[in-house]
Amino acid sequence: MNISLTDEALQWFKNEMEVETGDTIRFYARYGGSSPFHEGFSLGMTREEPLEIGVHTEADGVTYYIEDKDLWFFNDYNLHVDVDAQLYELKYDYVK
């Protein structure tokens, strides 16, 4: 599996979370909400130091990652992060 982010998503992280070179952003399975795969779970995101990285990508000196313990959530799909142009919030697509 891999993580990809559009240029718009990278800009969103700069504007909304003020990420800088050396920062780390974690995507994780959280209790509550729903997802295409797991009712009662949704995708969360936070700025956090990694413990056990399962998969990661780096862009503009920022590491975006998922820990080993959260890989189950993605069912072997890739995570594609973009921005909803109307709502100006992140949107997640799961791509085979």
Burial 1-16 (b: 16+ CB within 10 A, else e): eebebeeebbebbeee
Q: What pLDDT score does 30 carry?
A: 79
Around Cβ 62, how many Cβ atoms within 10 Å?
20
The full set of domains in the chain, from first to last, is 3-95 (2.60.300.12)
**What's the pLDDT tens digit per position in 1-59?**
999 999 999 999 999 999 999 999 999 987 656 566 656 667 999 999 999 999 999 99
Q: What pLDDT score does 37 carry?
A: 64
- Bridge partner residues of 92 (DSSP): 81
Reported as a pLDDT band with limits 50, 70 and 90, residue 75 is: confident
Model's pTM, two decimal places?
0.89
